[in-house]
Amino acid sequence: MNNIHIDNQELLNEKISKIKADGLDNLHVVSDYDRTLTKCFHEGKKRSSVISLIRSGGYLTKDYPEKAFALFDKYHPYEMDKDLDLEIKSKYMQEWWTTHRELLMKSGMNKGVIDDILRKYSSLFREKTRELLKELNNFKIPLLILSAGVGNLIEGYLKQENIFYSNIQIISNIFEFDENGNALGYKDKIIHVFNKSEASIPEEYKTQISKRKNVILMGDSLGDLDMTSGMDHDIVIKIGFLNEDLTQLPLYKEKFDVVITNDGDMGYVLDLV
C-alpha cells in the first residue's frame, strides 16, 4: 500500500517472527489516543483534539478561550520546534499543562462539560480501530491507552461505541469532581506529550503485562516513542501515524518500524494481531 512506509523490512520481519513465535500470550499493546486511535482529518478538515473541544465549545467563562489560546500561542511553538532538546520541550509542556489545569479550575470546569461534549461530538475512530480493539479483547491482549488528553472523554467515547473492554487501561488526565460536579483537578500527575514514559502504571495492570515482553506501540508524535521506556520488554514494534507534514517522513521512518501516512486505517495493525 502506498501509505505504508518501512525503512528496514528485514529488522521488522525479525520482530514479527519473534512475536509470532512467542505467541499472543506474550504480547500487549500501548497506544496514544488523539490522531492515533482516532482520525486526524474529517471531510478535509483537521479534527479537534479532545482538550480543544473544551476550549472552543463556549462552556466556561467568557475569558477562558482567549487565555487558553494565549497559552497555546506561547507554548505550541516549543512543542513543534524540531531543533529544541527533548528535556527542554518537556519542561515547557509541563508549564503549559499545569497553567492550563489551573485556568480550567478557575474558569468553571465541571462534569457537565464532559457530558455535553460526549453528546455533541463524535469520536471518529480511525477505520478498523473498532475491529482492532475487539480483536485484542477476544485474544485477551492488554491495551494501554496513554494520552495527554482528557481521560474522562476517552473512556466516554469508548463506552459510546461499546468498545471499552476489560482488557483496556487508560492513563490520562482524568478529572475528579465534587458532589456538585465541579472539577477538583486531575486524579494523578499531569500527562503531557513528552512525559508519557514517566506515567504511573497501576499495579494491577503491571501484573497483567509482567510476563508479556513483546509490545506493539502506536503513536502520531515522536514523543510517543517513549511510552514503553518505563516497561520491561524484549521486542517493540513501533508504528507511527504521520497524518500531515510529509517532510518529516524520513525522520519518522528512522524512528518508527512502520509509518502510516495519509490518515490511514488500522488494517496493518489488525493484520499483525
Q: Is residue 129 part of a domain?
A: yes
The residue among 221, 265, 29 whose CA lies nearest residue 125 is 265
pLDDT for 53: 84
Q: Are 190 and 196 in contact (CB under 8 A)?
A: no
Which pLDDT belongs to residue 93? 94
The phi, psi pair for 8, rounded to 5°, reads -130, 85
How far apart (Å, rounded) are the C-alpha atoms in residues 43 and 201?
A: 36
Please tell me whether residues 170 and 266 are part of one structural domain: yes
Nearest C-alpha neighbor of 237 from the set 221, 213, 211, 261: 213
List, for residues 90-148, the tens digit of each pLDDT value. Answer: 999 999 999 999 999 999 999 999 999 999 988 889 999 999 999 999 999 999 999 99
Both 147 and 243 in a single domain? Answer: yes
Predicted confidence at residue 198, as pLDDT, reads 65
pTM over cut 0.85? yes
Enumerate long-range contacts of 83-86, CB under 8 Å, 24 or more apart.
Answer: 86/194, 86/223
Say if CB 217 and CB 225 are below 8 A apart.
yes
- Decide if 59 is inside a domain: yes
Pairing assessment for the beta strands 41-42 and 45-46 based on DSSP bridges: antiparallel
Which residue numbers in the chain have pLDDT < 50? none
Side chain identity, residue 3: N
183-186 vs 175-177, strand pairing mode: antiparallel
C-alpha to C-alpha distances, 163 to 75, 90, 157, 186, 273, nearest whole angstrom: 34, 32, 9, 24, 17
Domain count, the chain: 2
User: CA-CA distances (angstroms) from residue 91 to 73, 108, 150, 192, 238?
Assistant: 16, 26, 20, 10, 25
112 and 130 together in one domain: no
Angle at 85 (CA atoms; ends 83, 86), nearest 5 degrees: 120
Cell reading at 31: 497506544
Cα separation values, 86 from 91, 189, 230, Å: 9, 19, 17
For the packed helices 64-80 and 86-106, what is the interaxial angle rounded to 10 degrees? 170
- Do 114 and 127 lie in one domain? The reply is no
At 225-235, the pLDDT tens digits run 989 887 889 99
Domain boundary among 75, 103, 118: 118
Range of the structural domain that residue 11 is part of:
4-39+123-174+187-272
Verify that 201 and 221 share a domain, yes or no: yes
- Residue 235 pLDDT: 96
Residues 243 and 71: their CA atoms lie apart, in Å, by 24
**Within 13 Å, how many C-alpha atoms sit on residue 223's CB side?**
24
Residue 181 within any structural domain of the chain = no
Q: Is 182 among the domain residues?
A: no
Q: Whole-angstrom Cα distance, residue 123 to residue 160?
A: 9
| Same-domain status, 22 and 144 | yes
